[in-house]
Amino acid sequence: MFTELNSILNTSPESFSGGDFILVSDRQSDASFLIHHFLSFYLRAQCKVCFLSLAQSFNHYSSVSQRLGVNLTQAKDKGQLIFLEGLKESLSVLIPQAADTGSQAMSFLRNPAPGLQSLYEFVRDSVTASSSSVEEGTEEWGPPVLLVDDLSVLLSLGVNAGAVLDFTHYCRAAVCSQLQGNMVMLVRCDGGEEEYDGDVEGPEWLLRCLTHQCSLTLHVHGLPTGYCRDIHGQVEVCWRRRRGDGQHTQKKLFQYKVHDKGASFFARGTSSAVL
């Protein structure tokens, strides 16, 4: 968990707003450090977290979280963390085993007709379980949180961008609106904006559509001056709030450097490394 980022976003594990959809994106850079931040943040906040890990293994996230002071294995054992390891689940769908005990969340790989209904049902069942009556001897968690790393993988697996957009809409309705929990999703745009025509439903199209739905965006990209050893890139933070006379936005740009156990953020132009 990055305390400097919490200060920028005016939030903390002890006091944070509910019903928010946070969209993380990157272009020719790597925003995964923000996913690690939000994972540790919400676990420290005692929220029930459903994590759809479509890009990396559990061991990867566990190793990074350990350096941030959070034990994912312990969180899983306590029932606070519901972790879907997409890589492993995909393999079990494509190469079924005789004693298959995995979930059906990735069944769309074998039968694409229903879209992402099975994945949504996995999310819905995971988050609603936290709001049901608490069994004797179990802990009661805070509002549910859905983390997805990353939505772009679904496009790579052949899922239509419209179906991905429908999936996010239903998840937002269940998590943010119904249960007043939060949702954090990563969209990765590896190519330049000119790579996708305006009519092509690729990552850029998906990102533009989701931007209109979220309350906070964090877009990570490289420095315009190129590589710098002391500064790893820039983060554009944009708040979107609806008011009586329409939607208001506020943007701020920060430069950042990721450390082994944290990250530093600088208002643009305040770092001695990059002006």
Mean predicted confidence (pLDDT) in 182-195 = 78
- Per the domain annotation, does 272 fall within a domain? no
Range from 6-10, 38-42, 91-95 carrying the lowest mean pLDDT:
91-95
Short-list 190, 193, 263, 194, CA closest to 233: 263
- The CATH number linked to 259 is 3.40.50.300
Mean predicted confidence (pLDDT) in 251-269 = 82
pLDDT at 201 over 90: no
Which pLDDT score is estimated for 31? Answer: 93
pLDDT at 270 over 60: no
- Per the domain annotation, does 162 fall within a domain? yes
Of how many residues is the chain composed? 275
Structural domain including 42 reads: 3-94+103-130+140-267
35 and 146 Cβ atoms separated by less than 8 Å? no
pLDDT at 137 over 70: no
Mean predicted confidence (pLDDT) in 177-202 = 77
Range from 143-152, 210-219, 245-254 carrying the lowest mean pLDDT:
245-254
- Per the domain annotation, does 274 fall within a domain? no
Mean model confidence pLDDT for the chain = 85
143 and 50 Cβ atoms separated by less than 8 Å? no
Q: Is the whole model's pTM more than 0.85, yes or no?
A: yes
Mean predicted confidence (pLDDT) in 86-104 = 72
Q: For tokens 């269940």, what's the residue?
A: 174
Cα separation, 171 vs 132, whole angstroms: 18
For the CA atoms of 254, 263, 270, 248, what is the dihedral angle to 10 degrees? 20
- Per the domain annotation, does 175 fall within a domain? yes
Which pLDDT score is estimated for 61? Answer: 94
Which pLDDT score is estimated for 271? Answer: 40
- Per the domain annotation, does 62 fall within a domain? yes
pLDDT at 275 over 80: no
Mean predicted confidence (pLDDT) in 202-213 = 91
Range from 12-21, 38-47, 148-157, 263-272 carrying the lowest mean pLDDT:
263-272
Which pLDDT score is estimated for 130? Answer: 55
- Per the domain annotation, does 153 fall within a domain? yes
Say how many domains are in the chain: 1
